[in-house]
Amino acid sequence: MQNSYQAVMGRQNEIMKRAVGFDYQQSALAFDYEGMMAATGFDLPSIRRVQAATGVGETPLYELHNITRLARQLASPGYGARIFLKDEACNPSGSFKARRAAISVYQAQQLGYPGVIAATSGNYGAAVASQAAMRGLKCIIVQEVFDSAGVGQPEILEKARACEAYGAEVCQLTVGPELFYVFLCLLEETGYFNASLYTPYGIAGIESLGAEIAEEVRERTGHFPEAVMVTHAGGGNVTGTARGLREVGATTTKVIGASVDLSGLHMASDRDFNRKSFTTGHTGFGVPFATWPDRADVPRNAARPLRYLDQYVTVTQGEVFYTTEMLAQLEGLERGPSGNTALAAAFAIAQTMPQEQVLVVQETEYTGAGKHPTAQLTFARQRGIEIRRGDPRASKPGESIVIPERPDQISVQDYALDDLRHSYLRNALRQVKSGEISQLDVDFLQADARASLEMVKQAAAEQQVRLPEKQA
């Protein structure tokens, strides 16, 4: 069998179909998204049963009394929503990713695969390795770790340590296009299950998190939360959490995504790769995956963030580092940067909400070693990045990290969802080879982007794609 780059990439769909054990609906544009999710065979009760078997889920929900009190001191009279925090660091591998991995690894076991493979540089690798160990499956994690000088990002190196501690084999690569190629080669060679972040199994696993948040807040306060703040990267966290909220009736709860602003840094750039202090939860993933979800390592990505986002905001790296210390020193919880991205945004947004309302930060992650702010800031200094105190809005990704001097300097910047919708529609319509789309395609685009018919018409005109006669 030919193993050149071109040959392997040419048979990627064939490799993927064998490795996922899921019959994806193949079409040029539209597909039945809800049908795809239902085809997993997992409803919310069965998801909870599978996760409970390996100690996943039912994590603590804390009310952050001291941080809420501080937010109210800075807010106008009568404002400063109650801030709650779902402590997902209490999952076996230390993050909410255990929920995704639990369903994927269980499914691999049920289908008789000898092992699982995941391409990830983040918490998901540790989660897959942990769940595979519990279920007696072999595990390979493929990571993008080094720049061309052989320098590894400290947080990713810590994730490799965690994966190996759970018994996984870790394949470490430099930044570049070889990641997907090596991943495909390993899937083909081993016959293992593709435990991708973006399968319907992985997204379904997060639904229990949204459901728990809604149920626990209603039990504690008598009503569903007004808003849930979600750290947004590839879109799975937003999608799964929102679906879980809706499943138990929290249909009016606002879903807000938050990312670290890393604008100007390219995630596939050898130079930029080590000039960022956050390996996930940043705009380098949040924006591209919102504007074209199907860039993922499966034929159809089950993470569709534009279907569910009600608001999208960004914060700076310095604000997240400051909030990490604030959580530790005011609430006695030392947690990693991913969930604290959402907490930084929640601290600012809570000040605009009435005091009787509830805002939930839906995840935390474990910290330590290369994930700790000290390690990240030391690494940044070594790369020549300026670290100082001051106005965080003066920071420039890849050049400076400005840490606030006071809590009132924490704020959010709104990212226009309509801009993301327009980009998504343009990307989708570029896939059309025939020059025209059907009514089914129009309906799909409106649902997938939560876009108006006028937006679809405008994008179609720009791409010179004909609409059905009745919409033209």
Q: What is the pLDDT along the chain (472 residues), one digit of tens a residue?
A: 688 888 988 888 888 888 988 777 656 688 999 999 999 999 999 999 999 999 999 999 999 999 999 999 999 999 999 999 999 999 999 999 999 999 999 999 999 999 999 999 889 999 999 999 999 999 999 999 999 999 999 999 999 999 999 999 999 999 887 888 999 999 999 999 999 999 999 999 999 999 999 999 999 999 999 999 999 999 999 999 999 999 999 999 999 999 999 999 988 888 899 999 988 899 999 999 999 999 888 888 999 999 999 999 999 999 999 999 999 999 999 999 888 999 999 999 999 999 999 999 999 999 988 889 999 999 999 999 999 999 999 999 999 999 999 999 999 999 999 999 999 999 999 999 888 999 999 999 999 999 999 999 999 999 999 998 776 5
Select from 126, 86, 102, 84 the least CA-distant residue to 371: 126
Cα separations in angstroms, 439 against 58, 393, 425, 453, 468: 43, 45, 15, 11, 6
Token pair 């994930």 is at which residue? 371
pLDDT at 365: 96
Asked whether the beta carbons of 50 and 201 are under 8 A apart, the reply is no
Token pair 């000088």 is at which residue? 149
DSSP string across 226-255: SEEEEE-SSSHHHHHHHHHHHHTT-TT-EE
Maximum distance among all Cα pairs of the chain, rounded to whole angstroms: 70
Burial of 221 (0-12, 13-18, 19+ CB in 10 A): middle
pLDDT at 472: 58
Asked whether the beta carbons of 71 and 347 are under 8 A apart, the reply is yes
Query: Same CATH topology for 5-40+95-197 and 51-94+201-414?
Result: yes
Cα separations in angstroms, 410 against 50, 364, 380, 406: 40, 19, 21, 8
Strand order in the sheet with 115-119: 169-174, 138-146, 115-119, 193-194
Cα separations in angstroms, 303 against 142, 230, 248, 346: 21, 14, 20, 23
26-49 CB burial, b ≥16 within 10 A, e <16? eeebbbebeebbeebebebeebbe
Residue 63 parent element (H or E): strand 61-63
Strand order in the sheet with 311-315: 61-63, 82-86, 358-361, 227-231, 254-260, 311-315, 413-414
Select from 197, 211, 203 the least CA-distant residue to 37: 203
Report the SS3 class of residue 257.
Answer: strand
Helix residue ranges per DSSP H, 166-314: 178-190, 200-221, 236-247, 270-273, 283-291
CA–CA separation, 289 and 121 (whole Å): 16
Residue 118 parent element (H or E): strand 115-119
Fold topology of 51-94+201-414: Rossmann fold (3.40.50)
CATH architecture, range 5-40+95-197: 3-Layer(aba) Sandwich (3.40)
Report the 10 Å Cβ neighbour count for 76: 9
Question: Within 13 Å of residue 1, how many CA atoms lie on the same side as its CB?
Answer: 11
Asked whether the beta carbons of 212 and 43 are under 8 A apart, the reply is no
Select from 323, 317, 284, 319 the least CA-distant residue to 399: 317
CA–CA separation, 275 and 314 (whole Å): 18
Q: How far apart are the first and last CA of the chain?
A: 48
The ranges assigned to domains in the chain are: 5-40+95-197, 51-94+201-414, 417-462
